[in-house]
Structure 1
Amino acid sequence: MISAVAFDAFGTIVRIGQRTNPYRELFREGRRQGVALTPDSAHLALTTNLSLDDMALSLGISLTPSKSEELRQRLELELSSIEQYPDAVEAISLLKEAGVKTGICSNLSSPYGPKVRDIFPLMDGYAFSYEAGATKPDPVIYRSICAEMDVEPGHYFGDGLGRVLMIGDSQRCDRDGPRVVGITGFYLDRTGRGQIHDLVQFAQIVINSNSPKP
């Protein structure tokens, strides 16, 4: 019995209509100033609840008032362009009607979390990297979404404990990573070349799997 499904956010249930890349521009500004930025700098942006100005301060990047305002406008424009995928709305509705819990598990910088919550306000749980302090594929974030949904991963059969699934557009983070904690992961390929290319298709697979066999 499948009891819960966790969805990735961007590329899976939501998309950015107009990319302005405020964080990329922040890092560009840092490099212009000679700040030594590393992969840990990007990781910091995903695992701390900091505004762009506070992120700049933490990384030692100096922002003029005009640059700070430019970054703020870039961020606001990008946030305002975020929209849901229609198949995500339908799939989540179908799963809820079938009694399957749903959640969102995603690597996000802190300004993006409230927007995702606004678009999908009725999920059973949310696990965002900036709140969990860990990014996918760290097991910590997968355990976090299971705790949020009040389900236990790692139990596939018996004892009344249902299976937990996850789906997203990253093979590493959404298909393979969750398996470490006992979540069955699936890869969503919206190009149509993969096994699963639509979330309604995926929801039907889940619902059919839960249906009593004749």
Structure 2
Amino acid sequence: MTAVIFDLFGTFLEIRDRQNPYRRLLRLGSQQGRVASPGDLRWVMTNTCGLQGAADFFEIKLSSTQLTELQSCLELELESIALFEDALPAHALLRHHQIKIGVCSNLGGPYCSVARNLLPGLDGYALSAEVGLMKPDVAMYQHICTQLEVAPSQFPGSNAPHVLMIGDSRRCDADGSRVAGIEGYHLDRSGVGRFRDLLEFVTAINISRG
């Protein structure tokens, strides 16, 4: 095994005080007669601009009071982001085994710097707002693998480095990564699935693969 890729929110990081500022913004748009689109979330997740930039793009009119309130909600949410208590021990164990670590996550622009500050010095960061792609786009997984300097493949007899990924979305982190040739796993912190925390996952893969 050469590298492990992690999702961020729900996996490495948790939001302890959810305010949903972008949903509130879109709700204001609906009140103004704007029809919501399935592509709204994708735009938010693949652009680095903040709330005012999103409001301008969606043509949602905000008063100074509304913008201040939304910005306050965003700041409260950002300040509440913290590492799960199993994140750093899992990180340390992988470093001990000299395994590269990357993160691949769908998140809006204002969340990127917070994630980087809480998890500095990783070997790769594929953050959707910075990359302009979203999981489960195959190109998103290819992007993080390029950063990690690995070329994943699950084909029998392949000499490509072995790459694993884990996250709390079965669609994006387990199934989606497998399409890109990455061995994907689902993290279920409720305790129902095979892995309920990151330390359990990292310990298992190190035992099984040496």
Q: SS at 2:202's partner residue?
A: helix
State the 1:160 CA deviation. Answer: 5.1
Could you tell me whether the CA contact under 8 Å between 1:156 and 1:162 is conserved in 2?
Answer: no
Partner residue, 1:82? 81
Partner residue, 2:71? 72
Partner residue, 1:54? 53
Output the CA distance in 2 between the equivalents of 1:167 and 1:205.
13
Query: If the length of structure 1 is used for normalisation, what is the TM-score?
Result: 0.94
Partner residue, 2:113? 114
Partner residue, 2:102? 103
State the 1:210 CA deviation. Answer: 2.9
State the 1:209 CA deviation. Answer: 2.9
Partner residue, 2:163? 164
Could you tell me whether the CA contact under 8 Å between 1:165 and 1:184 is conserved in 2?
Answer: yes
Partner residue, 2:191? 192
The 1:184–1:159 alpha-carbon spacing in structure 2 relative to 1, beyond 3 Å, is: closer
Output the CA distance in 1 between the equivalents of 2:124 and 2:4.
10
Partner residue, 1:141? 140
Query: If the length of structure 2 is used for normalisation, what is the TM-score?
Result: 0.96
Q: Once superposed, which parts of structure 1, at least 4 consecutive aligned residues long, lie more than 2 Å away? A: 155-161
Q: SS at 1:153's partner residue?
A: coil
Encode CA deviations 1:149-197: one digit per residue, 9 max, x unaligned.
1111125666753211100001100000011110010000111111111
Identity of aligned residues (%): 43
Matched AA of 1:87? D
Partner residue, 2:40? 41
Could you tell me whether the CA contact under 8 Å between 1:46 and 1:109 is conserved in 2?
Answer: yes
Q: CA RMSD in A?
A: 1.3
Partner residue, 1:173? 172
Could you tell me whether the CA contact under 8 Å between 2:153 and 2:161 is conserved in 1?
Answer: no
Q: SS at 1:123's partner residue?
A: coil
State the 1:205 CA deviation. Answer: 1.6
Could you tell me whether the CA contact under 8 Å between 2:16 and 2:81 is conserved in 1?
Answer: yes
Output the CA distance in 2 between the equivalents of 1:53 and 1:88.
33
Output the CA distance in 2 between the equivalents of 1:209 and 1:52.
46
| Uncovered stretches (5+) of structure 2, i.e. residues with no partner | none
State the 1:88 CA deviation. Answer: 1.2
Partner residue, 2:152? 153
Matched AA of 1:98? H
